[in-house]
C-alpha cells in the first residue's frame, strides 16, 4: 500500500471500527472481535510504514485547509512513527484486557466504552502523525473529549 494512503487509513480505520462497534453492540462476541481485529489491522498498517521511513521518506496526507496558511495535515516522522507503533500495539493489549475486565465485572454500556476507546486511538494516531501544531492541537483535543467518557464510565 502507498505510504501516503496508509497514513490516512491509520487515522480513519479506528473511526470505522468505532462505528462497527456501535452497529454490532447487540452481539458482544462479534463486537469485541471487530474491536480487537481493528486493533490488529491498525498495528500491521503502521508497521508497514517502518520501511519507507527507514529509507528516508516522509509521507504526507493533507486533510483540510481551514484558513490560508492554517491547515490540518498528517506527516510521518520517525518519532511519530515510534509513538504510533507503541500506541497501536498497546491498543491490542489493552483491548484484550478491557474485554475481560468489562465482562468479568458485568459493566454496563460496554459498547459505548469500546466505541470511545476506538475513537481515542484514532485521535492518538492523529497526534502521532501531526504535520503541524494546529493538527496536533486538534487531535489532542479530540483525545481529551473522547477519553472523558472512558474515565467517567461508572458515573
* Predicted TM-score of the model (pTM): 0.93
The mean pLDDT of 28-36, rounded to a whole number, is 97
* pLDDT above 50 (res 90): yes
Phi, psi of 45 (to 5 degrees): -65, -50
Residue 85 lies in a domain: yes
- Does 142 fall in a domain? yes
Q: Is residue 69 part of a domain?
A: no
Instruction: Indicate whether 153 pLDDT > 80.
Output: no
E strand intervals along the chain = 60-67, 70-75
**What is the distance in angstroms between the CA of the first residue and the CA of the last residue of the chain?**
43
Asked if residue 70 belongs to a domain, the reply is no
Coil, strand or helix at 67: strand
| Percent of the chain residues topping a pLDDT of 90 | 89
How confident is the model at residue 82, as a pLDDT?
98
- The residues, ordered by sequence, that sit 6+ positions from 94 with a Cβ below 8 Å of its Cβ are none
CA–CA distance from 145 to each of 28, 45, 135, 136 (Å)? 25, 25, 15, 14
Domain interval for residue 120: 3-64+75-151
Contact 128, 90 (CB under 8 A): no
Read off the pLDDT band of 143 (50, 70, 90): very high
Look at the alpha carbons of 32, 40, 90, 143 in this order and tell me if their dihedral is positive or negative: negative
Residue 129 inside a domain? The answer is yes
What mean pLDDT comes out for the span 43-55? 97
The domain total for the chain is 1
On whether residue 97 sits in a domain, the answer given is yes
Amino acid at each position: 500500500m502507498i505510504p501516503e494512503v496508509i497514513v490516512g487509513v491509520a487515522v480513519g480505520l479506528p473511526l470505522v471500527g468505532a462505528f462497527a462497534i456501535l452497529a454490532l453492540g447487540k452481539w458482544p462476541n462479534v463486537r469485541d472481535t471487530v474491536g480487537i481485529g481493528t486493533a490488529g489491522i491498525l498495528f500491521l498498517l503502521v508497521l508497514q510504514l517502518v520501511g519507507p521511513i527507514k529509507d528516508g521518506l516522509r509521507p504526507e496526507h493533507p486533510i483540510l485547509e481551514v484558513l490560508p496558511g492554517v491547515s490540518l495535515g498528517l506527516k510521518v516522522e520517525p518519532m511519530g512513527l515510534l509513538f504510533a507503533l507503541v500506541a497501536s500495539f498497546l491498543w491490542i493489549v489493552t483491548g484484550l484486557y478491557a474485554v475481560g475486565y468489562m465482562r468479568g465485572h458485568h459493566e454496563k454500556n460496554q459498547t459505548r466504552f469500546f466505541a470511545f476507546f476506538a475513537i481515542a486511538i484514532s485521535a492518538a494516531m492523529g497526534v502521532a502523525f501531526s504535520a503541524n501544531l494546529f493538527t496536533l492541537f486538534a487531535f489532542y483535543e479530540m483525545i481529551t473529549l473522547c477519553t472523558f467518557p472512558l474515565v467517567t464510565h461508572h458515573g
